[in-house]
Amino acid sequence: MAKLIARNPNEPEFHQAVREVVESLASYIIADPALQKMKVLERMAEPERVIMFRVPWLNDRGDIEINRGYRVQMNSAIGPYKGGIRFHASVNLSIMKFLAFEQTLKNSLTTLPMGGAKGGSDFDPKGKSDNEVMRFCQSFVTELYRHIGQDTDVPAGDIGVGAREIGFMFGQYKRLRDEFTGTFTGKGLGWGGSSLRPEATGYGVCYFANEMLATRGESFKGKVVTISGSGNVAQFAAEKALQLGAKVVTLSDSSGYVYDPDGLDHDKLEYVKLLKNVFRGRIKEYAERYPNAKYFPGERPWGVKCDIAMPCATQNEINGDNARSLVENGCICVAEGANMPSTPEAISIFHSNKLLYSPGKASNAGGVATSGLEMSQNSMRIKWTREEVDEKLRSIMCNIHEVCVKYGTEEDGYINYVKGANIGGFMKVADAMMSQGCV
Ligand code: NDP
Ligand code: 2IT
């Protein structure tokens, strides 16, 4: 870790993500001289390639704006680079590297042949017109296109990148390459997209949480659920939790959270989808429309009493104090939809209180798994039904849960999902790297 920090200064999120894996794997690696000799973990923490580029574009006033674009191609040992693109003002190299590092292990856990990558830009889509977003996406891809391809690197969505942005990026990519391939996932259903890809991350989190709850004879039925975020992952985590009989009482965005004591229902959720995906509004408008709900500006939902918490917004959104309030309020399960939403202090509080706690790389893997299924369908030029994809998604999430149980069960029977996911994800990548020599 000391070497890694010295080589990658000022990258706290990257250090945090690697440290967690190092801590899980230390004894495992110490016991295996071959892993040490081949410097597998050291190589995994060094990106195979980092691309940083200028993204100039014209705003609606005709002025030039300049953003910075990134693609971190972390690891290609088990398949082409694969991972989302994030457009958010906070994007920097540290965040790209932490996400690409976690993606490598996550993609391995899915059992599908995908390496790890992440990309994005500090472009902030908030308040931009559709035309501005399109011009930005076109400029972004005009550089990125030479580094990606269906057998090289396959981007998808993440924060700030949904169906609209994938459409603009895919359109420009297709134009530059003059070929129609599955180089992006999350495409529209009529032009190469997979059924259930929009739902997959959120649904997958609930499938995974359901498996965790079942280890204690529990289920979603009748449980109170708090969710952060109100974007893609949050919306479909809420939808599946409702279908499984839970009561979802919060949603949030970067400005605050709403608490609805009556809980969400189908109509309210449809309103949220319209508000966020079409009108691109703020979650506080929910409380204006449903007067029983209350809006808490500038706050996160972790002080609300719940049985199950699903953080679905961003990294480090649950700190030690938030974790303590969740525990004090009787929360039994924290299933991460976002990537690295819990700080190390929060994770240690969950562990010492024996909560069911799953790290994002295990419980949010349903999104990229379904991206992998989209790649398979594109290669075969076929389309599976919603039911077929759902069945595969369920079985992938159950399998990841089994892997976590296998490698994460401690002497007292407590399942440490962090350890389980890190060891389970690492093994396949490590075996491939050992077989492929010093590359
Ligand atoms: P969206 O852009 O659709 O939604 C993001 C949500 O989180 C919005 O409500 C946003 O609020 C909120 N948010 C974003 N940044 C912050 C911040 N710094 N502080 C507080 N709230 C914030 O993104 P997704 O739903 O796709 O992604 C959510 C999380 O899930 C991310 O961590 C992502 O990496 C992860 N993830 C996504 C997958 C996918 O398939 N999309 C797959 C696996 C993981 P606001 O509108 O104010 O920005
Ligand atoms: O963090 C993630 O796993 C994603 N944003 C989805 C990546 C993908 O390639 O579908």
68 pairs with which residues across the strands?
Answer: 54
Task: List, chain by chain if needed, residues with CB within 6 Å of any ligand 1 atom.
Answer: 88, 90, 157-160, 162, 201, 229-234, 253-255, 312-314, 337-339, 364, 367
| CA dist., res. 285 & res. 398, Å (int) | 37
| CA dist., res. 57 & res. 73, Å (int) | 25
Q: Where in the chain is the domain with CATH 3.40.50.720?
A: 200-362
Cβ–ligand 2 distance for 73 under 6 Å, the answer: no
> Residues in the chain with pLDDT < 70?
none
Closest atom of ligand 2 to CA, residue 371: 10
Closest atom of ligand 2 to CA, residue 107: 3
**Which ligand has an atom closest to residue 200 CA?**
1
Per-residue DSSP letter, 186 = S
Residue 300 CA to ligand 1 centre (angstroms)? 14
CB 168 within 8 A of CB 134: yes
Residue 380 CA to ligand 1 centre (angstroms)? 31
Residue 435 CA to ligand 1 centre (angstroms)? 37
The correct answer on CATH 3.40.50.720 for the domain covering 200-362 is yes
| CA dist., res. 426 & res. 362, Å (int) | 12
The correct answer on CATH 3.40.50.920 for the domain covering 46-179 is no
Q: What's the pLDDT score for residue 259?
A: 98
Closest to 422 (Cα-Cα) out of 438, 436, 407: 407
| CA dist., res. 371 & res. 232, Å (int) | 15
**Active-site annotation holder among 106, 118, 187, 361:** 118
CB 255 within 8 A of CB 297: yes
Q: What's the pLDDT score for residue 31?
A: 93
Active site residue 419: no
Q: Which residues contact 306 (CB under 8 A, 6 or more apart)?
A: 223, 224, 225, 226, 249, 250, 326, 329, 331
Closest atom of ligand 2 to CA, residue 339: 1
Q: What's the pLDDT score for residue 381?
A: 97
